[in-house]
Amino acid sequence: MAMARLLSLDLPRTEPDRTLLLMGGGIVTPTVAKQAGGRMNIIRFLKYQHQEAKDVLNEIIVRNDTSESRSLLEKMSKMLRLHMQIEETIVYPAASKCFQGDLRKPSVLQSFAEHELARQCLSALESTPPTDEHFVARAKVLKGILREHILEEEGDLFPSLATKLGQSGIEKLGDEVARQLSKLEAESAPRPTSPAATEPPATKSRSAKVAQTRRPATKSRSAKVTQTRRPATKSRSAKVAQTRRQRSTVRGAKGSRRQATASRSAKRH
């Protein structure tokens, strides 16, 4: 089983000075075997981590055992996050420096981007219960991303880096990993999100949305009422004024006719 291999992983006996031990609650980490006076081959170590990640994901997908999937994922997640932190902090900067002005330089930048995508998929998988039908589907997506990433690293990046640095340069990278291991483990751990810290903004956002949707509607209705009332009031006032003017004109005309009649009668007498 991949779980058993993850819990007790040793490099082949042909290299007795290279050993991988399980530390930190399931993280496969390198240690320098001082009694043998050996130094770690960082590329060999990273390849072992690649294989472990693939084996655990395969077991999660094939077995689809909800009772074991969570513990398998937790162990693999710690190892994979540490693996990516080692590469981004030590291996990729060394490769970027070696490939300065080289056509392989863009592949290092692509590796950083692929790690970001792998982290997003890993976080989505970790937040999914093994009983959820999306759990295995998300495990398959993560497996596909890692498969392409691993093929590029082991087929191009690692061999090119080994050629550039030589055996001594590769072992120096291993020494740097061993020296910074505790720091790398701490930096690779995911930062938990507090529900209390995220709830108020969400509530505030919902309230703001409700207020935003309600207020314009009220204003719009008021504006419409005012708009419909004012022209009507203005129209009625205009009609009243017009009627009054017409009546005044009629009264004036009648008065003029009476005066003319009276004038004619006076002349006759």
pLDDT at residue 182 tops 70: yes
**115-133 tens-digit pLDDT:** 999 999 999 999 999 999 9
pLDDT at residue 145 tops 50: yes
**Segment 178-192 mean pLDDT:** 87
Report the alpha-carbon distance of residue 70 to residue 259 in Å, rounded. Answer: 112
Give me the pLDDT at residue 209, please.
56
Give me the pLDDT at residue 101, please.
80
Q: Do the beta carbons of residue 60 and residue 23 sit within 8 Å?
A: no
**Segment 82-102 mean pLDDT:** 92
Name the helix (H) or strand (E) containing 19. Answer: strand 18-23
Report the alpha-carbon distance of residue 125 to residue 137 in Å, rounded. Answer: 9
pLDDT at residue 247 tops 90: no
Give me the pLDDT at residue 199, please.
46
Give me the pLDDT at residue 44, please.
93
| 59 compared with 222, residue with greater pLDDT | 59
Tokens of 44: 């060999």
| 222 compared with 122, residue with greater pLDDT | 122
| SS percent in the chain: helix, strand, coil, step 5 | 80, 5, 15
DSSP 193: P
pLDDT at residue 225 tops 70: no
pLDDT at residue 10 tops 60: no
Q: Do the beta carbons of residue 23 and residue 29 sit within 8 Å?
A: yes
Give me the pLDDT at residue 201, please.
47
pLDDT at residue 94 tops 70: yes
Strand partners, 32: 18
Give me the pLDDT at residue 216, please.
52
Report the alpha-carbon distance of residue 143 to residue 57 in Å, rounded. Answer: 7
Give me the residue spans of the domains in the chain: 2-189
| 28 compared with 149, residue with greater pLDDT | 149
Tokens of 85: 């932190």
Q: What angle do CA 104, 151, 89 make, to 5 degrees?
A: 60
**Segment 91-101 mean pLDDT:** 90
pLDDT at residue 198 tops 80: no
| 243 compared with 204, residue with greater pLDDT | 243
CATH topology of domain 2-189: Four Helix Bundle (Hemerythrin (Met), subunit A) (1.20.120)
What's the alpha-carbon Rg for the chain, to the nearest Å? Answer: 41
